[in-house]
């Protein structure tokens, strides 16, 4: 069961008035709109399209997109506070939103030309269309250089795209895909190109990938491109710029996965505090057993540290300072901390926490993928150590 008054770090002196309002709006929305359905969408692997539209009514689907193209001109701290509140209640909905805004739409916002931005972004910002980001393939995930999806230029105006992408979040429902492909595999990263692909392109097919352990309310799909004709005007920047686009967007979107982890950890901690005050053993609430109280103290301390690291990475991003290492640190630390916190929250719930519809049972499963997607923990350590040793 969720509680309205939960544990919240005092971030007031760090957030602007606007951010406090955003945070409260997202919290109210999550508790009233998402909480009643979060178990059901998890059980049924149902993509919450109606919730996506409700998110757009609040301006969240275009939060960090330029207002010139229908967005809200928000920064990454704005987005971070929203993602935290949504993930504290429904991990799946936060995954859908992060993928739509911070991965896919943001790629067009940041790297698109004026024509591309005005063509694609208004509908994406307003939630009339949904976006997805297709980088991973059956033979490569961490090693983004190994792309097999390829393009061939058939004339000045068109490419032919062939290949398979897997694990594409929002895949079943997306209207627009950012697709990374190679025009020259031998050239390695210099051969990678990024394209904007319309879902109605002839030869594009979508194969749903069901059976996820967690984040089951977000859709995941394999995307197959069979001789798809893609206009060259849909290319982002130049041929060969795709690898740098992917790295830059993953760097910044990672901050939102860290925020998602903070949210999952907060939701779990709140559930544990609430349960520990109600559950009695040996004639007193379990919160009055010191080992439980100390466990809660450890959870809160780690949660605060991960939120502060996430906030630092978001601020560096917003101040246009270097943030790659700090974003990787925030993602690495917050994802591993959220793993420890959901585990402890489940332990505090005893057998009840092992069963549905306990929120910690769902969060325990949802949390796991945060250590895998948008760069595994090992890849974050690679980014951080390279920066230390350079």
Ligand X SMILES: Cc1cc2nc3c(=O)[nH]c(=O)nc-3n(C[C@H](O)[C@H](O)[C@H](O)COP(=O)(O)OP(=O)(O)OC[C@H]3O[C@@H](n4cnc5c(N)ncnc54)[C@H](O)[C@@H]3O)c2cc1C
Task: Give yes or no for residue 177 binding ligand X (CB under 6 A).
Answer: no
When binding is defined by CB under 6 A, the residue of 136, 268, 295, 338 that contacts ligand X is 136
The span of 15-23, 152-160, 312-320, 368-376 binding ligand X (CB under 6 A) equals 368-376
Contacts of 77 by beta carbon, 8 Å cutoff, 6+ apart: 15, 19, 311, 314, 315, 318
CB of 208 to ligand X, least distance (A): 13
Task: Give yes or no for residue 249 binding ligand X (CB under 6 A).
Answer: no
Closest residue to ligand X using C-beta atoms: 141
When binding is defined by CB under 6 A, the residue of 27, 129, 212, 266 that contacts ligand X is 212
Which single residue is written with the structure tokens 């805004």?
A: 101
When binding is defined by CB under 6 A, the residue of 184, 232, 376, 387 that contacts ligand X is 376
Task: Give yes or no for residue 167 binding ligand X (CB under 6 A).
Answer: yes
CB of 209 to ligand X, least distance (A): 8
Interface with ligand X (CB under 6 A), residue total 22
Task: Give yes or no for residue 169 binding ligand X (CB under 6 A).
Answer: yes
Q: Is the dihedral of CA 194, 198, 202, 207 positive or negative?
A: positive
* Closer CB to ligand X, 76 or 177, in the complex: 177
Task: Give yes or no for residue 168 binding ligand X (CB under 6 A).
Answer: yes
Task: Give yes or no for residue 102 binding ligand X (CB under 6 A).
Answer: no
3-state secondary structure of 320: coil
* Closer CB to ligand X, 316 or 369, in the complex: 369
234 to 117, 128, 132, 284: CA distances (angstroms): 11, 20, 15, 64
Contacts of 200 by beta carbon, 8 Å cutoff, 6+ apart: none
* Closer CB to ligand X, 164 or 376, in the complex: 376
Burial annotation 53-89 (CB, 10 A radius, 16+ → b, else e): ebbbebbbbbbbbeeebbbbebbbbbbbbbbbbbbbb
Q: Is 143 exposed, middle or buried, given 0-12, 13-18 or 19+ CB atoms closer than 10 A?
A: exposed
The span of 36-44, 135-143, 152-160, 193-201 binding ligand X (CB under 6 A) equals 135-143
**Annotated catalytic, 114?**
no
The span of 141-149, 259-267, 279-287, 312-320 binding ligand X (CB under 6 A) equals 141-149
Which single residue is written with the structure tokens 């009514």?
A: 57
* Closer CB to ligand X, 172 or 302, in the complex: 172
Task: Give yes or no for residue 380 binding ligand X (CB under 6 A).
Answer: no
* Closer CB to ligand X, 243 or 373, in the complex: 373
Contacts of 305 by beta carbon, 8 Å cutoff, 6+ apart: 333, 337
Alpha helices in the chain (DSSP H): 17-29, 38-44, 49-57, 76-87, 91-98, 106-111, 114-125, 242-278, 290-318, 324-348, 359-368, 377-389
Catalytic machinery residues: 374
Footprint of ligand X (CB under 6 A): 99, 133-136, 141-143, 167-169, 212, 215, 220, 369, 372-374, 376, 378-379, 382
């Amino acid at each position: 069961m969720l509680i309205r008054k939960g544990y919240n770090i005092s971030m007031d002196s760090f957030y602007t008035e606007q951010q406090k309002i955003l945070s409260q709006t997202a919290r109210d929305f999550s508790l009233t709109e998402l909480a009643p359905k979060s178990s059901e969408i998890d059980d049924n692997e149902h993509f919450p399209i109606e919730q996506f539209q409700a998110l757009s009514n609040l301006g969240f689907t275009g939060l960090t997109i330029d207002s010139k193209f229908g967005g809200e001109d928000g920064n990454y701290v704005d987005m971070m506070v929203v993602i935290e509140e949504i993930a504290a209640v429904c991990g799946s909905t936060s995954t859908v939103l992060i993928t739509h805004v911070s991965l896919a739409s943001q790629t067009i916002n940041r790297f698109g030309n004026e024509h591309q931005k005005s063509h694609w972004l208004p509908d994406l910002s307003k939630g009339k269309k949904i976006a997805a980001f297709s980088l991973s393939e059956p033979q490569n995930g961490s090693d983004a250089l190994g792309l097999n999806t390829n393009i061939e230029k058939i004339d000045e105006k068109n490419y032919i795209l062939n290949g398979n992408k897997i694990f594409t979040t929002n895949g079943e429902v997306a209207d627009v895909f950012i697709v990374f492909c190679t025009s020259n595999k031998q050239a390695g990263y210099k051969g990678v190109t990024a394209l904007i692909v319309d879902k109605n392109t002839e030869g594009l097919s979508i194969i749903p990938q069901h059976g996820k352990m967690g984040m089951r309310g977000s859709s995941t799909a394999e995307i197959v491109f069979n001789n798809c004709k893609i206009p060259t005007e849909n290319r982002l920047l130049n041929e060969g710029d795709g690898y740098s686009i992917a790295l830059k967007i993953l760097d910044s979107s990672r901050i939102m996965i860290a925020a998602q982890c903070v949210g999952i950890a907060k939701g779990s901690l709140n559930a544990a505090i609430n349960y520990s005050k109600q559950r009695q053993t040996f004639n007193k609430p379990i919160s009055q057993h010191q080992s439980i109280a100390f466990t809660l103290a450890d959870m809160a301390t780690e949660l605060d540290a991960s939120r502060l690291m996430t906030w630092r990475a978001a601020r560096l991003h917003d101040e246009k300072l270097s943030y790659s290492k700090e974003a990787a640190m925030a993602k690495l630390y917050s994802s591993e901390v959220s793993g420890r916190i959901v585990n402890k929250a489940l332990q505090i719930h005893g057998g009840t926490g092992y069963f549905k519809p306990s929120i910690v049972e769902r969060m325990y499963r949802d949390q796991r993928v945060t250590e895998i997607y948008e760069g595994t923990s090992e890849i974050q350590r690679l980014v951080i150590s390279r920066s230390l040793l350079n």
